[in-house]
Structures are given as C-alpha cells and as structure tokens.
Chain A
Amino acid sequence: MSTEAAIAVEDVEFGYAATPVLQGVSCTLRRGEFLGIIGPNGSGKSTLLRLMSGYLRPRRGRVRVAGRPLAEYARAALSRVIGVVPQDTTVTLPFSVMEMVLFGRTPHGGGFGFEGPDDLAAARRALARTNTAGLARRRVTELSGGERQRVILARALAQEPEILLLDEPAAFLDIRHEVEMYDLLRDLQRGDMTVASVLHDLNIAALYCDRLVLLHEGRIVQIGTPTEVMTYATLTAVYGTEVYVALNDITGALNVLPLSREYRERLRRG
C-alpha cells in the first residue's frame, strides 16, 4: 500500500468562540486505506471529518488534499475529489432516487442545464454499485433508512470521487444493513477508493478499518491499527467505563464489549 497522503490534517484547531472543539490535531488519510475515526460523544469526530471535507475551515493549521492546501480548491473541484455521506441525510422534498443520485453530478456540470449521457451513465453505475438500481423511480422520502443511506452513498459515488468520507453511515441501521453498508464500503476501498468514516460501533471499526484515529475531548489520543488502539487500558480511560476486549476467533479482529455495573465493580475488586 502506498503511504502517500490523500488528505493530510496538519496541526489543526477548530472551535466556536473561546471553546475549541479540536486542538492540535494532525493525521493523514493514506491513499487506498480504510480509516476509522472513533471516540466518545462530543470528542470532535464529526468536526474532524468536516474539516477533512472542507465544509469547515480550521481556525489554525492546515488541511491538504492530494498535497494541495484545501483553500486552493474551488468548491466544485474539491467535490470531484471528495464524496461525502453526511450525518444528516433527511430529505424534505420528494425527489426520485434517480434525481437524488444525479445531484452527485452537480460538481461536474453548470448552474443550469440537463444531465448528459456521461452523467446518466455515472448515476447508473453508482446505482448498480450500491444495489439500488431497482429503487430509481421511488421517492427518496418513502425509502427505509437502509435504502436511503445506500442512495446517499450512490449520490457520493456519482461524484466519481477518489476519496469517500462518511459520518456514521450506519447510524440508524439494524445489524444486517450495517454490515451490508460496511461490506460495500470495503469492496469500494479494495477497488481504488480511499475511505474514512466516523464510527460509533467499535466492533465494526475493528472489523473493517485498516487504521483508527481515536479522539478524546478534541485531541487525538492515538493513531494506529485496531489492535494498537483498542486496548483495555486506552478504551477504558477514553470512554470512562471498563470494557472487555477480546480477540474474535472467527474474524481475528478485536471485540469490544460493554460491562454492566455489576461486572465493573467485580473487576475493580479484582
């Protein structure tokens, strides 16, 4: 795997007014990898992702995309390199799924006009890739949560980006739709996509990610492989509750299990 940085975050600080949300954050998203961003609620995961995508601009420090400072990109040019599945994917207007996926072509077109054959082809590829071709005529407002997330992913793919950034793409999905989403993301990554995702579920993070960035109170605690980052000591300190970390015999990945108060107290007594 090449270690060239797709996105480099360099000593970044971000915040509103006096309180910083992120401080002294430096990390790289390597070309071709699957990077997970984990941490407790309010640790700055979404903010880091939004800084990487250029939606937010850092108060200090710098973000580079493919070596070039983010500030040098025109907004549309950036959206041809980075596709994003944001946290809030609610849609208020009853667009058809095809219309929604064609919105991914916005950075490739002008302010007005109709989509050309290239746009339609890209949208159809994205629909096929995410297994949503059968939904093309449905209204986005009528889809189930799992279907809608796949459609939003298809929209990001229609941008034909090199990098995919996702903010908890399986937040409200059941276990089947969750693994389907991450299987799909891993297939894309094994193609030629670079992927970074904010994850809530540590087991999914361990199962799918090449490397993890662990955030706590706006600072990076550790960057490394899941095995390096997800130790009992680190997770217990960062999340503020004892967890049980074990190796899964079948997957070879780490499992992180919460412990109820009864067991936490038993653990403290030794």
Chain B
Amino acid sequence: MGAPHLTPARFARVLLVLAGVLAVALLGSALVGAEHIDLGTALADAGSVDHVILTRIRLPRACLAAVVGAALAAAGTVLQALLRNPLADPHMLGVSGGAALGAALLLVFGASGGVLHAALVPVGAFAGALATMLAVYRLGSVHGRLQPYMFLLAGVVCNAVAGALIMTLNALADFFQAHGILFWLLGSLQTQSWGLVAASALYVSVGLAWLLGHTRALNVLSLGEESATQLGVDVARVRRGVFVVSSLLVGAAVSVSGMIGFVGLIVPHVTRLLIGPDYRLLLPASAIMGAIFLLLADSAARSLLGANEIPVGVVTALCGGPFFLYLLRREGGRGVD
C-alpha cells in the first residue's frame, strides 16, 4: 500500500501499464476481421494483400477507434466532475445528438462534395455539440448554479429532439445523404483514411491537452461549485473551458464515427473503480481505457456475426444500457445529488 495520495511514481506506473495494454489492443484489433491476415506476411511483404489490408484498412480503423474512444471517455470523465453526477455522459446529455444534428445539417444543406465539405462537417458537429451543451446548461441551472438532475433531464430531452430533427432531415435528404445520416445515428468506424484519423487525432489531442492542464481544478470542481471557488478555482472560467473542450472532443468523435453511446459513461466509472478518483491520473487513464474499450467493441462488432458487421454503436449500447441501469439503481439508492 503506497501513499494515500497521487505520487509521480504511481502516475507513471499506471499510465505505462495502460499504454502497454493499448498497444496490444491496437494490434489485436487490427488482426481481427472477416479476412484473416498474417502479421508476418503483412510486415515482410509490402506488396502483399495482407499488407494492404493491415495498413490501408485495419490500422487506420483501429487508430480511429482509439481516438474516438479516448475522446468520448475523456468528455464523459470531465462532465461527471462538472455535474457531480456519475451518470453524466455526452450521449445522455444530448451533446452527441447535437453534434450529429450539426453535421447532418451541413451534409444536407451545406456545400455538397469537395474538400471544403469534408472539412466543414467536423465544424458543424462541434457547433452542434456546443450549442446543445449551452442550451442544456441554461435549462439545467437556476441563478447561474447548476442543478445536476435538471441538467441531466434537459439533456435527455435535447437528445430526443436532436434525434427527431435528424430523422426529419433524413426524410428530406436524397438517397446518398440519407445513408450518411443513418451512419451517424448508428455509429460506425467504417472510415478508412489516414487523413481523417490524423485530423480527428489533432482535434482530440488539443482538447485532451487543455483538460490535462486543468485536472487539479477538475478535482475540486467535483466537490461542488462553492467548495471549488473557496479553494481558489475560477469556476466560471473552468466551466466554460470544459464546455468548449468537451464539445470539441465530442464534435471530433461524432463527425468521424457518428453517435457511439455509453463510452463516456462506462469507461470513467470502471477506471475510477480501478485507480481512484484523482483527475490527474483518472483523466489520462480514462482516455486510454476509452481507446481500449472501443477497440474491443469494434473488434466484436466486426467479428461476432462473421462477415456481417454490427454497427459499433450497437455493441456499446448493448454493453452500456444494462450498465447505466445498474448505476442508476445503485446511485439512486444512495441518494447522490
């Protein structure tokens, strides 16, 4: 048993172990799929089919899963601190729905096709996420003070409205656009471009870096706004930052993978059980755990039904739904505010 507080040694040890597991999961996920590939052949022969499948299809997809998983888990982790509620999750709060709506709006009404269009969709998703976050925040606070349960309920309603609007857009859209919209609703990682992976990784890294610089503030924010203020944190500033940055994370994730639910709920919770609540370690550990979780979920999505792929959002929802209910029963019984 070490010190009863976080030490640099423990920080490094935990993150190194998790990074190792992530590397294994990344490689493992790249080897799983309908088509069997041989790692030796793929690495030895750059002209082989195995090599092409590995580097052009499997690895970009695995990296995308890792980036999206990290973004969603990190967003959930910080929203739980801000709302003092272990049930907070970007999907549940309607932020993912808002992002998908923003992206779908641009897809249907924006400039069609071209590089500009591809660059604008993440912006639309970010704007949609931020707008929903601010709307839910306004609806969920009284006199500028957050009422956690009102916030959560406002999020559930916004999520439903965003879903309805997306379905309306779907009805207005032509066949190809409609296919794209459906992809956002279900959540999928079927994107196979290194450029896309790099772009989303960039957004997510910027967001994570900001959050990592504010983990001590996040620790005391989880004690409530008054305590955080008394402990020297400029709550309004940090809260604004968290809203913008988690919208960025969710927008980046949703624009490349659609609405993948429950990652931001399950992962922070399990990580907290494993390593404790200190955000200095919890946040980076959750991000890595989120990457690992989504890699596993995507591997399952691609292999469980043989050649037929299940949308990864379906897999995470099937894991997350029962988990949410379990948490709800447990936390409800405990009377968490």
Contact = CB atoms under 8 A, between A and B. Distances in A.
Task: Report the interface size class on chain A.
Answer: 35 or more
Interface in B45-93: 84-86
Most buried by B among A91, A92, A112, A156: A92
Contacts of B337: 90, 92
Contacts of A115: 5
A203 interface: no
Contacts of B227: 86, 88-89
Contacts of A9: none
Interface string B201-244: 00000000000111111011011101101111110000000000
B110 interface: no
B309 interface: no
A63 to B, nearest CB: 15
Contact of A103 (B84, B213, B231): B231
A93 B272 contact: yes
Interface in A93-148: 93-99, 102-104, 106-107, 109-115, 136-137
Contacts of A202: none
B216 A109 contact: yes
Interface in A36-86: 50, 53-55, 75-76, 78-80, 82-84, 86
A99 B6 contact: yes
Contacts of B277: 93-95, 99
B5 A102 contact: yes
A110 B227 CA distance: 17
Given A106-B216, A112-B216, A96 B230 contact: no
A75 B232 contact: yes
B223 to A, nearest CB: 6
Nearest to B227: A86
B190 to A, nearest CB: 37
B229 A112 contact: no
Interface of A: 16, 50, 53-55, 75-76, 78-80, 82-84, 86, 88-99, 102-104, 106-107, 109-115, 136-137, 155-156, 159
14 contacts: A54-B229, A55-B226, A55-B229, A78-B232, A79-B232, A90-B224, A93-B272, A94-B276, A95-B278, A97-B4, A99-B4, A111-B214, A114-B11, A159-B232
Give 9 nearest A-B pairs by CB, closest first.
Answer: A107-B232, A79-B232, A76-B232, A98-B4, A93-B277, A84-B230, A96-B4, A137-B4, A106-B231
